[in-house]
């Protein structure tokens, strides 16, 4: 049975081989057929549609950007968890009302503690 | 739906969240009271856990969660470990610029993760509880943000912990792919047979992931560095609590869920046990840092406890439970002294312990007792634990010759360990201090926690039968097919 299951992955393997072959072929063809010659640095710079770089990347950011981004992702993902709950809520309400409502109340309660903590500690304070 | 069974875990989690909320409205000079409140709350939950005994196994959440004798034994152990770790944290957190309440709340959350792990009867709950524990430890290890070694330890624990989690979840996925069920055994699903290739590879990956938690060879590389760099209360919790949770899960997986596979893998497990004992003990010899030495010795102790698993019997499991309780007392006492006897920012060098008996006779005696118990000298608790584990292996050697070498390796390891454990005792009492240093004042809370550990070390060594009986009862609850 396991062998059958593994065979079901054969198309994935074939796709992988085709993809590798395609990319390898492109690179090999361009290396074999492409024009050879000198490559001055100007040829690697942005061309027509791009902007010329004004300074090296990787400058300094204030840590508050990082903090807000992190909190955003945390609460954003927590909200995503509410979607599957909302989908099955009506169905489960008939048989398991305490579990379905109590479960989400506990979940939102934990989030609320986190939110309170973030607010009181000044994590959203942009000037801090 | 038996959600009421999860009361202890829920209570610990609620305590942690309540602490975080209370912290918001507590003025800075009263933060210590929050720590006391956390200790009191956790002690209450520990006392409450004795109100209900362990009868027949009870299940919650469709068999995901089991409350049996073994789960209850581990929960009490972890609650006790949590109380002592909080007491150490209360003392140690005077070094932090801020964050006493957060540190205590994180310890509580780690303890709740360990307690969920003790009751895991399902691969999903196993993974979630391990993650709850590990993710909180990432923060706990690197909590001293201004001290470089703590940050270094945190990064090492983060990278290797993430790797171990990847092993664990990949193994769980393969086991699920091979069996089509996520339950361990009992009411929630059939035990695994030796199974297909998928299941075997999956179980090996799970063993590697849990091996990281207990610190066995070859997943032990993090232990010395992390123990050395982490704040002492974190290291105490890591050694006594995280290791116990790892063994709780290992016992469930190897003896309940996959006994046939464990029997097949027995030679490998024996090799791992022997290698852990030798590696831990030999590498501990040249150490000069007390916490690093305890890190290497924790690898050796993981090896001793694996002796209880390779015999694959209830008696071995009971010996592990007894040993874990004794080990927790001794190692908690040692880390408490490490938290109290050194100045903030001072590396925990063993030569700096010279003259400790004049600075604080209590701390000196506590560290000496803990070292002697870890070495396994009668009549302390460490001796009985090692005796029980070795007894199982020697009895098995009568049936099968191959156990003989393992008993020999374990004995050699124990004898080797005398050297470095007594090196610490010698440094305290028999070496001259480089400079006269002021006496150490031990606070009442820390003194009481240390006292509880010492009572455990001595009492369970002189009168081992109550703890032994509890361990036997707990191991009797294992559903070994």
The answer to whether B177 contacts chain A (CB < 8 Å) is yes
End-to-end CA distance of chain A: 61
Distance CA A86, CA B412 (A): 61
The answer to whether B215 contacts chain A (CB < 8 Å) is no
A107: chain B residues, CB-CB within 8 Å: none
Distance CA B71, CA B476 (A): 12
Structure token digits, residue B408: 């020999």
Cβ pair B229, B152 in contact under 8 A: yes
Which DSSP string do the residues of B6-29 spell out, in sequence order? GHHHHHHHHHHHHHHHHHHTS-GG
Question: To the nearest whole number, what is the mean pLDDT of chain B?
Answer: 91
Mutation target among B16, B21, B139, B193 for the A interface, most CBs of A within 10 A: B21
Q: Does residue B462 come out as left (phi exceeding 0), alpha (psi in the -120 to 50 range) or beta?
A: alpha
Cβ-Cβ contacts under 8 Å between A and B: the total is: 22
User: Residue B185 above 70 pLDDT?
Assistant: no
Q: Tell me the ipTM for this assembly.
A: 0.79
Instruction: Determine the distance from the C-alpha atom of residue B256 to the mean position of all C-alpha atoms in its chain, rounded to a whole number.
Output: 21
User: Residue B116 above 60 pLDDT?
Assistant: yes
SS3 (DSSP) at B449: helix
Structure token digits, residue B265: 């893998």
| Phi and psi angles of residue B120, each rounded to the nearest 5 degrees, phi first | -65, 130
Distance CA B152, CA B170 (A): 27
- DSSP-assigned beta bridge partners for residue B66: B59
pLDDT value of residue A3: 67
SS3 (DSSP) at B402: coil
Among candidates B185, B163, B323, which has minimal Cα distance to B261?
B185
pLDDT value of residue B191: 53
Domain range spanning residue A78? 63-120
Does A116 contact B24 at a Cβ distance shorter than 8 Å? yes
A109: chain B residues, CB-CB within 8 Å: 17
In a domain, A93, yes or no: yes
Closest CA–CA distance from residue B23 to any residue of chain A (Å): 9
In a domain, A116, yes or no: yes
Cis amide leading into B379 (omega within 30): yes
Count other Cβ atoms within 10 Å, centred on residue B441.
10
Report percent pLDDT > 90 for chain B: 70
The answer to whether B173 contacts chain A (CB < 8 Å) is no
A113: chain B residues, CB-CB within 8 Å: 17, 20-21
Distance CA B62, CA B2 (A): 9
Per-residue pLDDT 10s for chain A (128 aa) are 666 777 888 999 999 999 999 999 999 998 898 877 777 777 777 766 677 777 777 778 788 888 889 999 999 998 899 999 999 888 888 888 888 888 899 999 999 999 999 999 888 888 76
Task: Please report which confidence band the pLDDT of residue B89 belongs to, taking 50, 70 and 90 as the band edges.
Answer: very high
User: Residue B278 above 70 pLDDT?
Assistant: yes
Q: Give the helix/strand (H/E) hosting B146.
A: none
SS3 (DSSP) at A15: helix
User: Residue B206 above 60 pLDDT?
Assistant: yes
User: Residue B85 above 50 pLDDT?
Assistant: yes
The answer to whether B4 contacts chain A (CB < 8 Å) is no
Closest CA–CA distance from residue A45 to any residue of chain B (Å): 37
Provide the whole-model pTM: 0.89
The answer to whether B1 contacts chain A (CB < 8 Å) is yes
Structure token digits, residue A53: 């770089």
> Which of B3, B25, B178 comes nearest A2 by C-beta?
B178
pLDDT in tens, B48-63: 998 877 678 888 888 8
Lookup result for tokens 């004042």: B441
Report percent pLDDT > 70 for chain B: 97
Higher pLDDT, B87 or B347: B87
Contacts of residue B117, defined as CB under 8 A and 6 or more positions apart, other chains included, come to B126, B129, B130, B133, B245, B248, B249
Closest CA–CA distance from residue A114 to any residue of chain B (Å): 9
Where does B285-380 have alpha helices with state H?
290-310, 314-340, 356-359, 361-375
pLDDT value of residue B378: 86
pLDDT value of residue B188: 41
Cis amide leading into B218 (omega within 30): yes
Domain count, chain A: 1
What is the 8-class DSSP label of residue A42? G
pLDDT value of residue A100: 85
The answer to whether B178 contacts chain A (CB < 8 Å) is yes
Mutation target among A117, A119, A123 for the B interface, most CBs of B within 10 A: A117
pLDDT value of residue B193: 56
Task: Please report which confidence band the pLDDT of residue B180 belongs to, taking 50, 70 and 90 as the band edges.
Answer: confident
Lookup result for tokens 């923060």: B139
In a domain, A19, yes or no: no
The answer to whether B3 contacts chain A (CB < 8 Å) is yes
pLDDT value of residue B187: 43
pLDDT in tens, B356-371: 999 999 999 999 999 9
In a domain, A111, yes or no: yes
Closest CA–CA distance from residue B426 to any residue of chain A (Å): 48
What is the 8-class DSSP label of residue B377? -
Domain residue extents for chain B? 3-476
Lookup result for tokens 């040829």: A43
Closest CA–CA distance from residue B17 to any residue of chain A (Å): 7
Distance CA B66, CA B478 (A): 11
Mean pLDDT computed over B30-43: 91
> Which of A5, A110, A117 comes nearest B24 by C-beta?
A117
> Which of A2, A5, A99 comes nearest B1 by C-beta?
A99
pLDDT value of residue B192: 58
CA-nearest residue of chain A to B198? A2
Lowest mean pLDDT segment, chosen from A85-94, B109-118, B236-245, B269-278: A85-94
Cβ pair B42, B79 in contact under 8 A: yes
What is the 8-class DSSP label of residue B252? I
End-to-end CA distance of chain B: 26
Distance CA B478, CA B475 (A): 5
| Phi and psi angles of residue B480, each rounded to the nearest 5 degrees, phi first | -85, 120
Cβ pair B299, B223 in contact under 8 A: yes
Cβ pair B137, B170 in contact under 8 A: no
A122: chain B residues, CB-CB within 8 Å: none
pLDDT value of residue A2: 62
Distance CA B8, CA B197 (A): 39
């Amino acid at each position: 049975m396991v062998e059958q299951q593994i065979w079901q992955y054969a198309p994935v393997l074939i796709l992988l081989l085709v993809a590798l072959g395609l990319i390898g072929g492109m690179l090999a063809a361009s290396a074999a057929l492409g024009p050879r010659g000198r490559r001055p640095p100007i040829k690697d710079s942005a061309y027509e549609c791009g902007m010329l770089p004004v300074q090296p990347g990787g400058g300094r950011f204030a840590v508050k950007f990082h903090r807000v981004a992190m909190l955003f992702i945390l609460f954003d993902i927590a909200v995503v968890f509410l979607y599957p709950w909302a989908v099955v809520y009506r169905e489960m309400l008939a048989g398991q009302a305490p579990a379905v409502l109590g479960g989400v109340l506990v979940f939102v309660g934990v989030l609320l503690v986190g939110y309170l903590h973030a607010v009181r500690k000044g994590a959203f304070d942009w000037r801090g | 739906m038996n959600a009421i069974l999860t009361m202890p875990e829920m209570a610990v989690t609620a305590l942690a969240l309540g602490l975080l909320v209370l912290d918001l409205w507590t003025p800075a000079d009263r933060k210590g009271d929050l720590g006391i409140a956390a200790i009191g709350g956790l002690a209450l939950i520990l006392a409450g856990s004795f109100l209900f005994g362990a009868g027949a196994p009870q299940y919650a959440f469709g068999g995901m969660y089991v409350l049996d004798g073994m789960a209850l034994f581990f929960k009490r152990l972890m609650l006790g470990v949590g109380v002592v770790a909080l007491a150490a944290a209360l003392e140690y957190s005077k070094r932090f610029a801020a964050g006493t309440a957060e540190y205590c709340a994180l310890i509580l959350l780690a303890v709740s993760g360990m307690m969920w792990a003790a009751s895991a009867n399902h691969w999903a709950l196993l993974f979630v509880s391990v993650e709850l524990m590990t993710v909180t430890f990432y923060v706990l290890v690197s909590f001293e943000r201004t001290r470089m070694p703590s940050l270094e330890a945190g990064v090492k624990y983060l990278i290797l912990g993430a790797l171990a989690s990847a092993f664990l979840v990949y193994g769980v996925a393969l086991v699920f792919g091979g069996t089509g069920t996520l339950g361990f055994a009992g009411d929630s699903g059939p035990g695994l047979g030796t199974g297909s290739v998928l299941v075997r590879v999956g179980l090996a990956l799970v063993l590697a992931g849990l091996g990281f938690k207990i610190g066995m060879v070859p997943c032990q590389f993090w232990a010395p560095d992390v123990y050395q760099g982490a704040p002492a209360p974190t290291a105490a919790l890591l050694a006594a609590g995280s290791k116990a949770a790892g063994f709780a899960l290992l016992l469930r997986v190897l003896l309940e869920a996959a006994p046939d596979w464990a029997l097949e893998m027995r030679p490998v497990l024996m090799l791992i046990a022997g290698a852990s004992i030798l590696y831990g003990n030999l590498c501990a010899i040249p150490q000069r840092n007390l916490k690093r030495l305890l890190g290497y010795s924790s690898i050796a102790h993981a090896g001793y406890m694996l002796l209880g698993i390779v015999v694959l019997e209830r008696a071995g499991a009971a010996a592990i439970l007894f040993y874990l309780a004794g080990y927790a007392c001794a190692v908690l006492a040692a880390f408490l002294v490490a938290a109290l006897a050194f100045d903030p920012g001072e590396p925990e060098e063993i030569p700096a312990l010279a003259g400790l008996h004049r600075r604080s006779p209590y701390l000196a005696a506590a560290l000496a007792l803990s070292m002697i118990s870890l070495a396994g000298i009668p009549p302390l608790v460490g001796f009985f634990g090692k005796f029980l584990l070795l007894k199982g292996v020697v009895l098995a050697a009568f049936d099968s010759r191959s156990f003989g070498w393992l008993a020999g390796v374990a004995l050699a390891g124990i004898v080797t360990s005398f050297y470095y454990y007594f090196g610490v005792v010698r440094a305290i009492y028999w070496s001259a201090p480089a400079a006269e240093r002021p006496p150490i004042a031990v606070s009442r809370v820390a003194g009481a926690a240390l006292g509880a550990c010492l009572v455990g070390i001595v009492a369970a060594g002189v009168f081992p039968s109550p703890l032994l009986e509890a361990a036997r009862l707990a191991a009797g609850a294992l559903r070994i097919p």
